[in-house]
Structure 1
Amino acid sequence: MNFRRLSQLFLFTIIFFALTACGSDSEADSSSNTTDENKDTITIGQINWPENIAVTNLWKAILEDEGYDVELMLIEMGPQLAALAEGDLDVAPEIWLPVQDKNYYEEYKDEAHFFEEPWYDNGKVGLAVPAHMDDINSIEDLNENKDTFDGKITGFEPGAGTMLTTDDVIQEYDLDYNLVESSEAAMITSVRNAAENQEPIVAPLWKPHFIFSEVDLKFLEDPNKTYGEVEEIFMATREGFNEDFKEVNNWMETFQLNDEQLGELMVYVKENEDNPIEGAEKWVEENQDVINEWME
């Protein structure tokens, strides 16, 4: 091999390794950018319930102020926790325990991380009727008043923990009633209209909920405590979330709302139904001292 060909081969080798190195750096940069983008995006499951819309928009407002991208995914409880277990969702913000979402907790407790402390500790769930129905005060009164309610319990989305518990209530009390599925919005409209027009209706409801401040309702006594007593609301995250978003995870673990705070947040969000994030942002602005306590 002559000197000229040797020089060309040597130059070609240098260029080849230079291009390879550039390509590797480019790929590494691209990979790094993709990871950063993924890391900065947090997906939170949302259910079309007033307190859920309020709290998910609250966290969206807080986290976007901190520079994170937040996607709220409208997905019902069963599929939401399945997505959490599969790692396709980061946060499920509303798990009612010890009764309402017990089945989901038992199913997914080994595949997702459920927080040890609740963010709300004064929940109540049960069958409710308009307060004007003086003769109906217990679930045990329902069968003898079946005709009054047309043998119908007006429900909401199937698969919700409270709907599953209501099926248990029907069996436990041997109620000759049908649980009618609809949506939370449709159920609330029916309850509001019935209460305002002094008409009968029975529906599975929960506190906190703004409907109790709009019309006069009462929970029926539950002697067998099938609905439980005080319910607490917990967050859950996918496995590994606490490592990928350590700071955010710490904030969520210290997150707590009392009745007054949650009630005010729900009112602000309801006043901005077309753009609920505005209601949440208003609450954030007025309660920065509360938020700072979560984020210390």
Structure 2
Amino acid sequence: MKKVLHTLTAAAMLMAATTAQAEDKTLVIGTNNWAENIAVANMWKLILENRYDYDIELSNVSKNALYSGLANGDFDLSLEIWLPTTDARYLEPYKDQLEVHEGWYEGTGLGLVVPSYADIDTIPELKAHAEDYGYQGSPSILGIDSGSAIAGLTDEAIDAYGLPLEQVNSSGPAMMAALDAAYQQKEPIVVTLWSPHWAFAEYDLKYLEDPKNIYGDNETIYWFSRQNFSEDNPWLTRVLNDWQMDDDSLGGLMAEIEQAGDPVEGATTWIEDNQALVNEWLETGE
């Protein structure tokens, strides 16, 4: 029976490879600088190049450039759009020029985050404790790049709650370095973070409650593409539509990358350790 199953699996993989041969194998994946985005983009690049001889370019750009680039055909696909709330404003101008496909991760989180040792539990409490959350001499919320969706929502939160703090925008790694430094000294700090993210495995953190629901409810992460991608690449579209990850699989992938300090090395290790799951994704493309 094992031999029969092995033969069937091999036949399915051969058929998938033959089907993939008919598709355009030179693709550009648009990425942004979120930990899970970097993780899954490198994972799929390695899988498609090593198994099916694709030539994948990863192009890291701002959110605005990503959506306009997909609409213009500069990129073929991107693996992360949060809906129905977080990325809706980026999608709206291009909704008739892009294809939003199936979701691959459910139950996201997004908002203002503090270490669990912090004495506050809600965003409104920041108003009275703003002076405790200083950064370089000024009450601040540490964020990522100013063009990100979470940065825009944080500006809205500051206005809606009347917070006497300013958002300091930087890169994700710079924000995480500041969080690590404060955490090691048990100092107050408030940052913009999201789930899934490896930080929640590394540190004991909590989201501040958001009674005005500025950051929205839990969402789903979908993959999306330029127009007509599904017609040009039916096999890959089926594979990506059946791709699913959860906290264990995605968290493990991000943890491998963080530990390795390199997305290619970390993703390679994760793929080697999760062959059965990867094969399951690829076989469903038939």
Q: TM-score range by the shorter chain?
A: 0.7 to 0.9
* d(CA) in 2 for partners of 1:108, 1:234: 16
* d(CA) in 1 for partners of 2:98, 2:233: 15
* d(CA) in 2 for partners of 1:291, 1:38: 20
Question: Are 2:23 and 2:232, in contact at CA under 8 Å, matched by a contact in 1?
Answer: no
Which is worse superposed, 278-287 or 92-101? 278-287
* d(CA) in 1 for partners of 2:198, 2:212: 27
Q: How does 1:60-209 map to 2 (within 5 A)?
A: 60-64=45-49, 65-115=51-101, 117-134=102-119, 136-150=120-134, 151-209=139-197
**1:234-272 residue CA offsets vs partner (Å, 9 max, x unmatched):** 111001211222111111111110110001111122233
* d(CA) in 2 for partners of 1:131, 1:278: 32
* d(CA) in 1 for partners of 2:93, 2:165: 28
* d(CA) in 2 for partners of 1:196, 1:231: 31
Residue 286 of structure 1 and its aligned partner are, at CA, apart by 2.4
Does residue 292 of structure 1 match 2:276? no
Residue 47 of structure 1 and its aligned partner are, at CA, apart by 1.8
Which amino acid in 1 is paired with 2:216?
Answer: G
Highest CA radius of gyration, 1 or 2? 1
Report the counterpart of residue 51 of structure 1 in structure 2: 36
* d(CA) in 1 for partners of 2:52, 2:205: 40
Question: Are 1:196 and 1:215, in contact at CA under 8 Å, matched by a contact in 2?
Answer: no
Match of 2:234 among 240, 246, 253: 246
Report the counterpart of residue 265 of structure 2 in structure 1: 278
**1:49-85 residue CA offsets vs partner (Å, 9 max, x unmatched):** 2211110011101111211111111112211111001
Residue 290 of structure 1 and its aligned partner are, at CA, apart by 1.7
| SS of residue matched to 1:251 | helix
Question: Are 1:149 and 1:200, in contact at CA under 8 Å, matched by a contact in 2?
Answer: yes
Which amino acid in 2 is paired with 1:145?
Answer: H
Which amino acid in 2 is paired with 1:118?
Answer: G
Inter-CA distance 94–198: structure 2 relative to 1 (3 Å threshold): same
**1:84-131 residue CA offsets vs partner (Å, 9 max, x unmatched):** 01111011111112221120122221111111x311002101101111
Report the counterpart of residue 19 of structure 1 in structure 2: none
Across the aligned residues of Structure 1 and Structure 2, the Cα RMSD in angstroms comes to 1.7
* d(CA) in 2 for partners of 1:282, 1:230: 30
Percent identical:
40
Question: Are 2:114 and 2:188, in contact at CA under 8 Å, matched by a contact in 1?
Answer: yes
Q: How does 1:228-267 map to 2 (within 5 A)?
A: 228-267=216-255
Residue 38 of structure 1 and its aligned partner are, at CA, apart by 9.6
What TM-score, normalized to structure 1? 0.83
**1:184-213 residue CA offsets vs partner (Å, 9 max, x unmatched):** 110011111111111111111111111122
* d(CA) in 1 for partners of 2:83, 2:232: 27
**Runs of at least 5 residues in structure 2 that lack an aligned partner in the other structure:** 1-20
* d(CA) in 2 for partners of 1:38, 1:71: 16
Question: Comparing both chains, which one has the higher relative contact order based on Cα–Cα distances under 8 Å and sequence gaps of 6 or more?
Answer: 2
